[in-house]
Amino acid sequence: MQLIIISGKGGTGKTTVAASFAYLEDKSIKVDCDVEASNLHLVLKGDDIERHDFFGAKTAKIDPEKCQKCGECEKACRFNAISDFQVDELKCEGCGACTVVCPYQAVSLDDDLTGETLISKTGKGYLSRAEMVIGAEGSGKLVTEVRKIAGQYKKNNEPFILDGSPGVGCAVMASVTGCDAALIVVEPTQSGLEDFLRLLSLIRFFGVLPFVCINKYDLNFDVTCQIERVCREEKVPVMGYIPFDSTVQRAINELKPVVCYPKSKAGRQIIMIWNRLNERIKEEIKK
Ligand code: SF4
Ligand code: SF4
């Protein structure tokens, strides 16, 4: 079973929920798909036991010795990345058109280092994550690699808990595809509601079962009611409501999952959401 915790944008409490679930389910394999700002490892702690460079992009390179300055590559490049028989690395998309048209085989495509994948052994199981090179592109490919590596650590029937990338871009698609269920963490603001609807259509497009939890629901009861209404209309089960609780900030400062404070208002609710969600997913899978 692969469960992803996801949100329409960063800062909605997604990692607070994901870290708590990862902590509660010892046997799970944890995957941090937020490759541009991974932080699950800070909360779950542990030692890195595997580390690999990841080359997720390509850049064209012109060999001045072979180039006959015919200009064919510049004409073929749709990204205006070639001028004066030189490639602008920042503009090159690695499409390879220049390599095809060059009559003198003077252009090659070089692999670009876009990130590093890591496996950490935590007190609560393995965590697969990545660190993306600043300014690099291709976060979706890196997410796919992080998930692939996590799969290699599956021994029996361990569930996967994924901390998804925020938003609705290519990294999110790479995070969501192949998952069984998604818990969408929504905050009660108008933009939160709109982000949720966009994300919901993406999750449904990929055939993933959607569930919702409303974080800091008590900060805006009107929008919380609107989210509930939308969930009813869209037939998305609301698994629970996390109240605003200063313990969450305390847990972040102490680098602990908030469920380490099981008597706190937020910790208690997240434990209830986790139990409820597990039951619902089991029921849905049986159908
Ligand atoms: S690989 Fe594509 S984008 Fe890059 S220089 Fe060649 S044609 Fe342009
Ligand atoms: S197509 Fe090849 S030979 Fe012609 S300008 Fe480009 S690199 Fe040089």
Please state the domain count of the chain. 2
Indicate whether residue 71 lines ligand 2 (CB < 6 A): yes
- The answer to whether residue 59 is domain-embedded is no
Say how many C-beta atoms besides its own lie within 10 A of residue 261's C-beta. Answer: 18
Same-domain pairing of 160 and 244: yes
- The answer to whether residue 201 is domain-embedded is yes
Indicate whether residue 182 lines ligand 1 (CB < 6 A): no
Burial of 282 (0-12, 13-18, 19+ CB in 10 A): exposed
- The answer to whether residue 69 is domain-embedded is yes
CATH of the domain at 70: 3.30.70.20
Spell out the per-residue pLDDT of the chain, length 287, in tens. Answer: 999 999 987 778 889 999 999 999 988 999 999 998 888 999 998 899 999 999 999 999 999 999 999 999 999 999 999 999 999 998 999 999 999 999 999 999 999 999 999 999 998 899 999 999 988 878 899 999 999 999 999 888 899 999 998 777 888 899 999 999 999 999 999 999 999 999 999 999 999 999 999 999 999 999 999 999 999 999 999 999 999 999 999 999 999 999 999 899 999 999 999 999 999 988 877 77
- The answer to whether residue 8 is domain-embedded is yes
Same-domain pairing of 99 and 205: no
Q: Which ligand is nearest to the CA of 72?
A: 2
Q: What domain range is 208 assigned to?
A: 2-54+115-286
Q: Sign (positive/negative) of CA torsion 83, 86, 87, 88?
A: negative
- The answer to whether residue 263 is domain-embedded is yes
Same-domain pairing of 183 and 231: yes
How many angstroms separate the Cα of 39 from the Cα of each of 7, 33, 46, 88, 141?
Answer: 15, 10, 12, 33, 19
Same-domain pairing of 149 and 185: yes
Indicate whether residue 82 lines ligand 1 (CB < 6 A): yes
Nearest CA to ligand 2 atom 8: 67
Pocket test residue of 93, 102, 109 for ligand 1, highest count of atoms within 8 A of CB: 93
Nearest CA to ligand 1 atom 7: 77
Q: What is the pTM of this model?
A: 0.88
